[in-house]
Structure formats: C-alpha cells, structure tokens
Amino acid sequence: MQPLIDRHGRVATDLRVSLTDRCNLRCTYCMPPEGLEWLPADDQLSDDEIVRLIGIAVQRLGVKEVRFTGGEPLVRRGLVDIVGRVRALDPDVEMSITTNALGLAKTAGALAEAGLNRVNVSLDTVRSDTFQEITRRDRFTDVVEGLAAAEAAGLGPVKVNAVLLRGVNDDQGPELLQWCLDRGYHLRFIEQMPLDAQHGWSRDSMVTADDIFASLATTFALTPAREPRGSAPAELFLVDGGPATVGVIASVTRPFCGDCDRVRLTADGQVRNCLFARDESDLRLAMRGGASDDALADRWLTAMLGKAPGHGIDDPTFLQPDRPMSAIGG
Ligand code: SAM
C-alpha cells in the first residue's frame, strides 16, 4: 500500500468520485437555468473504468472512504451496480453519496442492499417556494420523501448540507435546523465558494460562518462539541446542550486545507488534488491507452505531489478553477 501523500505531508484517504456532470436541478449558485455544456458521452468513464480506478485507490493507495457525487449521482444509471461492485472489492470501505435526493425514495433500499453506508442530502430550505426559487424546480416534496426513505433504509446518520444565500434564505437557518432536529438529520451549513459556472460569487455578499452562527444563536444555545475537529471540515456545535449537533463549514473564511485528506476523480477520469486545483491528471487517457494498474497508481501518486498548501481564495492572485463545482464533483 502506497499512501497518497503530498509535499506538505497530508495523506488523502477520502476519495470523491463524480459519476456525471449532469444534474436535474438548476441551483442559482451552481449553474445557469439552461444548464451547461455537458461532457460528451465518450469522455465519461464507463462503469467498469470507474470500478477499476476505485479499486486501485482502495487496494493500493490507502483510500478508506469513497463518496459518490456529481452533478447528480442518482441520475447515473449504473449507480447501484457500481456501489455493489465497490463493496465486493472491499467490505470495509466507507461508501456514501452526496445527492439532491430526487428519486432517492425509489433507490434508497437498493443502494443500502448494494452496500452503501450513508447519504448526504443537499437541502437549503424547508419552504417549498424558496426551494423553487433556489433550484428553479418544484421538487421539494421529492427531497422530503427521499430523506425519509434513506433513513428508513438504514442509510444513516442522514446528513443534510445547506448553503445560505444573502437575501434568499439567510434568515431560514434556525427553521432548517429545527426541521432537521425534529427528524434526527444531522445538519451542516457550508459557506458558498467561488465555484459557480456563472462566476457570480462575491466575497462581500457571501453569508459567512460567523453570520450563520449568529443567526442560529438567536434561537439555539450553541456550544462547541468536545471532539477535536481532525480532518472533518465542520465545526461542530452542540445544540441546546446536545446530544444533537449542527456543523458550520467555514470553507472560505476559516479554511481547513492544512488538514485536507481529500482527492477527487471527475466523471471524465481526471484526478484533481483539490477542488480549486488548476491542473488535473488524466487517468482516462492513460487507462484507455493500455496503462497497467501499477502505472495508473504511479500517475495518481504523482498527481498528489503538486497539491497546493491552501485554496488561496483570499489571495489577490486567486483564480477560480475552469470547471464549475458540478463538473468537478461537489
Ligand atoms: N447533486 C448533488 C447534491 O446536490 O448534493 C451533488 C453535487 S452538488 C455540486 C454538491 C454540493 O455542492 C451541494 O450541497 C451544493 O449545495 C454544493 N454547492 C454547489 N455549488 C456550491 C458553491 N458555489 N459553494 C458551496 N457549495 C456549493
């Protein structure tokens, strides 16, 4: 086993795999209403290619956690099969998906049976009209049903990720938290990052972790949870003395890059050592050119060496990556 270590001594054990760049929502902070120019079908990894690369990561490179994402991973037809095949490769690898939960009500049982451990559901509001305003789709009920199905299928603890947007839902944090507490879902707020396709993000208008904390503190007593943060990005707080918690992920204002243990594989087979990386390493081309597992593992190890010490969003020279979040894998 050769760990995915970078020049700053960080070891990546958490692999985010994007299964598609397509999505069935159109969240305003992610992509334009008409969608994006999607990856050509030939450029996307096949199910076999994805399973092969995950196998290399898990069996040779020390990856312990695999998170499927996108785009929207549930729109990938082979998802249940891919989960089952990865589970067959390794009974212990922690496997989860980050999803908008559309259609999860139908597939949660099959995913659990195939060996998925958990789901992270993205939900920014519990008001149907605000949901439609943010996602440009009238699908709030599907998400609620998807969440319930995931819980019933044993894909818990169910985590909910939320982004707050100034003037849209930044006054809805306490309501969202109460809704999650009532259902036993673990809520985490994430600061909006400069990863939207429209390049509309601005540091001045983003809702910061401090804003989120202040808003929640109007309704709940929040105290730091005792456990150390480690490489987990969420700053965890006990809600009203616990045991329930809420997380606030200050990706922009208090970056946790020094503890980063992540690596990403895009739907077209590029290794990215950081969400904000400007370079990628092409495993698809190498694989389709006949590279052995050893050669692919070597390429992957080399790709990690150049991982930057931090994302540098606050640096005046910061440049947003060419690909948006939906094409990298959130
Ligand atoms: N479709 C899946 C979902 O909704 O969870 C997976 C992909 S989506 C890009 C993953 C997460 O990224 C979602 O929670 C979404 O809210 C978040 N996201 C998208 N653009 C973002 C941005 N600019 N800053 C912070 N989070 C963002």
- Residue 2 pLDDT: 97
**Range of weakest confidence among 85-89, 175-179, 310-314:** 310-314
CA 194 from chain center: how many Å? 15
Nearest CA to ligand 1 atom 25: 192
Give 232's pLDDT tier (boundaries 50, 70, 90): low
User: How far, in Å, are 15, 26, 75, 268 from residue 107 at the CA level?
Assistant: 23, 22, 11, 24
Residue whose Cα lies nearest atom 15 of ligand 1: it is 122
What's the CA-to-centroid distance between 61 and ligand 1, angstroms? 27
Provide DSSP, 174-188: HHHHHHHHHHT-EEE
Give distance in angstroms: CA of 325 to centre of ligand 1.
Answer: 7
Which residue lies with its CA nearest to atom 8 of ligand 1? 330
CA 157/CA 150 separation, integer angstroms: 9
The whole-angstrom separation of Cα 112 and Cα 79 is: 12
- Matching residue, tokens 């698809």: 284
Predicted local confidence at residue 317, as pLDDT = 84
Q: Which residue CA neighbors atom 19 of ligand 1 most closely?
A: 30
Q: How far is the CA of 198 from the centre of ligand 1 (A)?
A: 14
Residues with CB under 6 A from ligand 1: 23, 29-30, 69-70, 72, 98-100, 122, 161, 163, 190, 192-193, 195-196, 325-326, 330
* Whole-number percent of the chain with pLDDT over 70: 97
Q: Give exposure, 97-108, as e/b (b: 16+ Cβ within 10 Å).
A: bbbbbbbbbebb
**Residue-level pLDDT at 330:** 81
Which atom of ligand 1 lies at the shortest distance from residue 98's CA?
5
Model confidence pLDDT, tens digit, residues 8-57? 999 999 999 999 999 999 999 999 999 999 999 999 999 999 999 999 99
Closest protein CA for atom 2 of ligand 1: 99
Closest-lying ligand 1 atom to the alpha carbon of residue 30: 20
**Please, which pLDDT band fits residue 319 given cuts at 50, 70 and 90?**
confident
Give the model's pLDDT for residue 161: 98
Q: Looking at ligand 1, which residue's alpha carbon is closest to its atom 3?
A: 99
Distance 177 CA to ligand 1 centre (A): 18
Res 227 pLDDT > 70: no
**Mean of all residue pLDDT scores within the chain:** 95
Residue 228 confidence (pLDDT): 61
Nearest CA to ligand 1 atom 17: 330
Give the model's pLDDT for residue 256. 87
Q: How far is CA 273 from CA 61, 119, 154, 280, 301, in A?
A: 14, 23, 32, 8, 10
Give the pLDDT band (50/70/90) at residue 316: confident
pLDDT in tens, 240-290: 999 999 999 999 998 889 999 999 999 999 999 999 998 999 999 999 999
Per the CB < 8 A criterion, the answer to whether 255 and 238 are in contact is no
